[in-house]
């Protein structure tokens, strides 16, 4: 691991790393495993699936789990996994969270994020629909965004059949999944749908990776600058697509997406995450547009910390904050 810059370096939080995070980074550095961006994409997918659950919280039992597919606009069956905390029906519908996993649009799945979705299901007492949208390099932009939009519309149309309350549907995701959730909030506004919350966990929102946090945290904090560009290289169909709002809702094309009238947001950012500043900026963009947006800043954490709860004790508090945001949105 590269030497950590002093806390006074622009782009770094004033607080030092959580001691357990620092210990984890040292363990990762000593393991000397090949970095994901040096691997063949197929091998990277396998490696991520194998490692994703090692540091995550144990998967909790839920009332029911069902795997099925949702039709995409091109006829593809998008795999999804539905978690239920208890029996749901048209007479007693439950709130629902549509969740998009992280992984740089290249790795990750409903399996890699299974423990997190189970926790959200139980603790927020809601249905969770986890979406296995298509990934690069086999499926280029805007396939993932289109898959997300297709699931969004399907969920609102089929809420009753799922036992979900169409008036209490939230959108959520981490990292690249946060990008998709943010884009879905815009698509929902544009098409007359009314989700109650966009829960964005360290989302990617910017067309260019040139913020102070990207510069200061380019190496040594789990997610590196080289990894980010490798991920985007697998996903983007052309360099010009960086400026599409479905990829960069903050500033794509200069101004990014028009976010007036989108649903309220809860945005979690980590102090030692290259994506920190763009998450902060997106919360500010929403607030400037009159959208209620809560920024939850965890200054001692790193990217992907929501999935490190088995090793890092402080993650439980962040999970509780996310659950509280969901419960509040569902109770409005």
Q: Give the CA dihedral 268, 272, 274, 275, nearest 10 degrees.
A: 0
**How is 84-140 classified by DSSP, letter by letter?**
ESS---SSS-EEEEEEE--STTTS--TTTTHHHHHHHHHHHTSEEEEE----TTTS-
Is position 109 annotated as part of the catalytic site?
A: no
- Give dist(CA 289, CA 162) in Å, integer: 33
Residue of 175, 206, 213, 241 marked active site: 175
Please answer whether residues 152 and 98 qualify as being in contact, where contact means their C-beta atoms are separated by less than 8 angstroms: yes
Q: Which of 293, 77, 34 is nearest to 185 (CA)?
A: 293
C-alpha span between 250 and 282 (Å, rounded) = 6
Does 175 participate in catalysis according to the annotation?
yes
Catalytic residue among 165, 251, 273, 304: 273
Distance CA 9, CA 245 (A): 31
Query: What's CA 159's distance to the chain center, in Å?
Result: 22
Q: How many angstroms separate the CA atoms of 122 and 62, rounded?
A: 7
Alpha-carbon torsion, ordered 192, 198, 86, 134, to 10 deg: 90
Mention every residue, 6+ apart, whose C-beta is less than 8 A from residue 314: 18, 20, 298, 300, 301
Residue with tokens 């048209």: 90
Catalytic residue, from 56, 132, 303, 304: name it: 303
Name the token pair of 313: 């004790």
Note if 101 is an active site residue: no
Catalytic residues: 175, 273, 303
């Amino acid at each position: 691991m590269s030497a950590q810059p002093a806390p006074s370096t622009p782009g770094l939080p004033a607080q030092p790393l959580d001691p357990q995070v620092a210990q984890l980074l040292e363990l990762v550095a000593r393991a000397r495993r090949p970095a994901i961006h040096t691997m063949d994409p197929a091998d990277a997918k396998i490696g991520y699936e194998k490692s994703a659950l090692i540091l995550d919280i144990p998967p909790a039992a839920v009332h029911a789990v069902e795997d099925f597919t949702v039709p995409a606009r091109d006829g593809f069956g998008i795999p999804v996994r539905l978690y239920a905390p208890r029996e749901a029906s048209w007479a007693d519908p439950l709130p629902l969270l549509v969740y998009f996993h992280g992984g740089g649009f290249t790795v990750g799945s409903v399996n890699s994020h299974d423990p997190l979705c189970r926790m959200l299901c139980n603790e927020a007492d809601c249905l969770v629909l986890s979406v296995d949208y298509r990934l690069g390099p086999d499926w280029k932009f805007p396939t993932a965004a289109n898959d997300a939009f297709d699931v969004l519309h399907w969920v609102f149309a089929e809420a009753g059949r799922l036992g979900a309350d169409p008036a209490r549907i939230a959108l959520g995701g981490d990292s690249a999944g946060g990008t998709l959730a943010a884009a879905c909030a815009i698509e929902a506004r544009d098409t007359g749908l009314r989700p109650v919350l966009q829960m964005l966990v360290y989302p990617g929102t910017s067309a260019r990776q040139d913020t102070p946090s990207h510069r200061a945290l380019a190496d040594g904090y789990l997610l590196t600058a080289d990894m980010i560009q490798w991920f985007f290289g697998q996903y983007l169909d052309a360099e010009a697509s960086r400026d599409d709002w479905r990829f960069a809702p903050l500033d794509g094309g200069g101004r990014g997406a028009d976010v007036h009238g989108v649903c309220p947001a809860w945005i979690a950012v980590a102090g030692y995450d290259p994506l920190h500043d763009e998450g902060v900026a997106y919360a500010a963009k929403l607030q400037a547009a009159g959208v209620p947006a809560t920024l939850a800043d965890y200054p001692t954490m790193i990217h992907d910390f929501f999935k490190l709860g088995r090793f890092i004790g402080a993650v439980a508090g962040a999970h509780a904050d996310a659950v509280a945001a969901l419960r509040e949105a569902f109770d409005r």
